[in-house]
């Protein structure tokens, strides 16, 4: 990753996902079904992509073995909600590898402990039903998450509102536009706070 790229990623990591989506003409925002599993979770990092058979997590185990510090494991699980693709043990191993978190187009389990671990996990559903571990699957291929294409290395940013995907070649421009939008909104927040008679909440 270049210095330019990492500074754009850092800037994106500090911005609300809503502003980032607006800066991309409201494109490249995942379907609302792919949501944070705990309030306040936030992630930003380059994607390590996983394609897996719905309900099967063999290749997510391989991703946790391969993940580099700061990467987000992004799993195309076919939008299946019937089997949890990760839980507390896999989240804990990923944290130990300094993975930035998970975005899963599928289900997860053990969410109370995942929250206590502080691992940001975005998913379509929560279920106690366990996964199969047979494959097939693939790592580092383009995938679709909530209707958005994620290529390996794309920047993935998530907060309480959802997930946006930013191609690194556009990240500087998107960060600049999103910062401008955020500054413009700050001015509006100040005016509204005055009318409310108390500071505008920061969420």
For Mg ion, the binding residues (CB under 5 A) are 87, 110
In whole angstroms, give the CA distance from residue 23 to residue 135.
38
Q: Does 87 sit near ligand OAA (CB under 6 A)?
A: yes
In whole angstroms, give the CA distance from residue 157 to residue 29.
10
Residue 149 φ/ψ, nearest 5 degrees: -75, 130
CA contacts within 13 A on the Cβ side of 62: 17
3-state SS, residue 150: strand
Q: Taking the complex as a whole, how short is the minimal distance between the CB of residue 86 and ligand OAA, in angstroms?
A: 5
Q: Taking the complex as a whole, how short is the minimal distance between the CB of residue 91 and Mg ion, in angstroms?
A: 9
Q: Which residues share a beta bridge with 35? A: 123
Contact yes or no for 121/104 (Cβ under 8 A): yes
Task: Find the helix or strand (DSSP H, E) in which 139 lies.
Answer: strand 137-139
The listed partner (Mg ion, ligand OAA, none) that binds 90, CB under 5 to 8 Å by sort, is ligand OAA
Which residue, 132 or 200, has its beta carbon nearer to ligand OAA? Answer: 132
The listed partner (ligand OAA, Mg ion, none) that binds 57, CB under 5 to 8 Å by sort, is ligand OAA
> Which of 38-46, 83-91, 160-168, 179-187 is the region at the interface with ligand OAA (rule: CB under 6 A)?
83-91
Token pair in block for residue 58 = 């063999």
Per-residue contact string for residues 127-156; x = within reach of ligand OAA by CB under 6 A = ---xx-------------------------
3-state class percentages of the chain: helix first, strand second, coil last, to nearest 5: 35, 30, 35
Q: Which of residues 160-199 bind ligand OAA (CB under 6 A)?
A: none
Q: Does 81 sit near ligand OAA (CB under 6 A)?
A: no
> Which of 40-48, 84-92, 140-148, 188-196 is the region at the interface with ligand OAA (rule: CB under 6 A)?
84-92
Q: Which of residues 110-129 bind ligand OAA (CB under 6 A)?
A: 110
The listed partner (ligand OAA, Mg ion, none) that binds 193, CB under 5 to 8 Å by sort, is none
Give all strands (DSSP E) within 25-176, no chain letters.
35-36, 43-52, 72-84, 101-108, 121-126, 137-139, 143-145, 148-150, 155-159, 162-166
Where do contacts with ligand OAA occur on this chain (CB under 6 A)? 57, 84, 86-90, 109-110, 130-131
């Amino acid at each position: 990753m270049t210095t330019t790229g990492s500074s754009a990623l850092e800037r994106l990591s500090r911005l609300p996902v809503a502003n980032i989506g607006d800066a991309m003409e409201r494109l490249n925002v995942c379907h609302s079904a792919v949501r944070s599993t705990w309030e306040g979770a936030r992630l930003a990092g380059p994607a390590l992509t996983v394609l897996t058979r719905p309900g099967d997590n063999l290749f997510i185990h391989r991703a946790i073995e391969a993940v580099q510090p700061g990467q987000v494991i992004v799993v195309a699980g076919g939008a299946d909600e019937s089997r949890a693709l990760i839980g507390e043990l896999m989240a804990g191993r990923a944290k130990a590898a300094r993975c930035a978190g998970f975005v899963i187009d599928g289900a997860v389990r053990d969410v109370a402990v995942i929250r206590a671990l502080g691992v940001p996990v975005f998913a379509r559903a929560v279920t106690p039903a366990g996964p199969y571990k047979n494959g097939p699957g693939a790592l580092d291929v383009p995938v679709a998450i909530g209707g958005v294409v994620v290529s390996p290395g794309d920047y993935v940013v998530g907060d309480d509102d959802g997930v946006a995907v930013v191609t690194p070649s556009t990240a500087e421009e998107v960060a600049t536009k999103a910062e401008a939008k955020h500054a413009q909104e700050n001015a509006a927040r100040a005016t509204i706070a005055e009318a409310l008679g108390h500071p505008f909440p920061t969420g």
